[in-house]
């Protein structure tokens, strides 16, 4: 009786490697397409980058003079994590608007008729939006540093906080893609309407502890509050410690909420893409 020998691990078929290269190459082409569009429409890019600067100045120096931070501290230190989170949230409108424009102009139909992987179309949109969001976040960080905001727990925790912000943005890209494939072009401009209360009914500008009880519960369980609260604690900024369960476990929720959004909206986006025009 001969002893059994371990079989070698099966090699990955070359067709899968070729397919992956095809998807990545197509996604790279679409990323370049989106970047070229930004260079040809500099006003749109400048406006989207100027908005965070204006918000920092308005809330940091105008409204901030009347704000109090629970436990004491500089309001601008409290404010910046909230503005980081709000910018990531509003990025969903950018995704939605671009997707609806592509659908209305027939660009999406052309993509569907070309020998191009459907995964590459969505991946290219993700690459472009994540790049744009990273630039926005970088500019907003520079604005915060200019007005005196700092992180106090070292670069590792600061990078972890920025990673949580980009994770939230990545999850919201799928929301924007799904809604962009669902709503007509004329309705895209109204996407800010539901996002404003979501961004305000959170811990972005004031602590939920200063709200009425019924509003406090909603604000504390807002997914945006989880990311903002976790980032504020990682940065070491004041006013983010809270006694409630969501505030105490903000880091856990800052990971769980985006993952849940991805699990829900990624398959919805793929299914809507496949059934588009059907």
Query: What is the per-residue pLDDT across 241-256, written as a single tens digit (0 to 9) for each?
Result: 767 899 899 999 999 9
Residue pointed to by tokens 């007005």: 147
Q: Is 4 exposed, middle or buried (0-12, 13-18, 19+ CB in 10 A)?
A: exposed
Radius of gyration of the chain (CA): 22
Residue pointed to by tokens 């800010």: 192
**Which residues of the chain are under the pLDDT cut of 70?**
1-16, 18-19, 22, 37-49, 112, 115-118, 242, 277-278
In angstroms, the Cα distances linking 151 to 43, 87, 216, 232, 233 are: 32, 18, 26, 9, 10
154: DSSP letter: H
pLDDT at 277: 60
CA-based torsion, 83, 85, 91, 93: positive or negative = negative
pLDDT at 15: 62
* Residue of 192, 196, 195, 220 whose CA lies nearest to 206: 220
pLDDT at 161: 97
pLDDT at 11: 45
User: What is the three-class DSSP state of 149?
Assistant: coil
What letters, b where the CB count within 10 A reaches 16 and e where it falls short, cover 34-71?
beeebeeeeeebeebeeebeebbeebbeeebeebebbe
Question: What are the φ/ψ torsions at residue 216 (nearest 5 degrees)?
Answer: -60, -40
Give the predicted TM-score (pTM) of the model: 0.85
pLDDT at 48: 65
């Amino acid at each position: 009786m001969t002893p059994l020998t371990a079989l070698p691990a099966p090699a990955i078929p070359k067709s899968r490697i070729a397919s992956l290269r095809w998807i990545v190459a197509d996604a790279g082409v679409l990323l370049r397409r989106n970047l070229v569009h930004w260079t040809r429409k500099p006003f749109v890019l400048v406006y989207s980058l100027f908005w965070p600067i204006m918000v920092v100045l308005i809330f940091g120096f105008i409204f901030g003079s009347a704000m109090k931070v629970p436990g004491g501290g500089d309001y601008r230190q409290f404010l910046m994590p909230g503005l980081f989170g709000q910018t990531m949230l509003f990025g969903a409108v950018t995704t939605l608007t671009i997707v609806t424009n592509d659908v209305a102009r027939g660009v999406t139909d052309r993509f569907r008729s070309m020998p191009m992987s459907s995964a590459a179309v969505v991946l290219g949109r993700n690459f472009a939006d994540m790049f744009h969001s990273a630039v926005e976040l970088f500019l907003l960080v520079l604005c915060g540093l200019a007005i005196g905001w700092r992180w106090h727990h070292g670069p590792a925790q600061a990078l972890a906080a920025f990673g949580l912000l980009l994770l939230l943005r990545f999850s919201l890209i799928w929301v924007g893609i799904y809604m962009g494939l669902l709503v007509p072009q004329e309705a895209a401009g109204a996407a800010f309407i539901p996002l404003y209360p979501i961004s305000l009914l959170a811990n972005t500008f004031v602590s939920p502890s200063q709200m009425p009880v019924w509003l406090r519960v909603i604000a504390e369980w807002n997914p945006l509050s989880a990311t903002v609260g976790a980032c504020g604690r990682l940065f070491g900024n004041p006013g983010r410690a809270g006694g409630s369960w969501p505030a105490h476990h903000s880091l856990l929720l800052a990971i769980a909420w985006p993952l849940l959004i991805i699990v829900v909206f990624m398959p919805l986006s793929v299914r809507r893409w496949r059934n588009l025009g059907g």
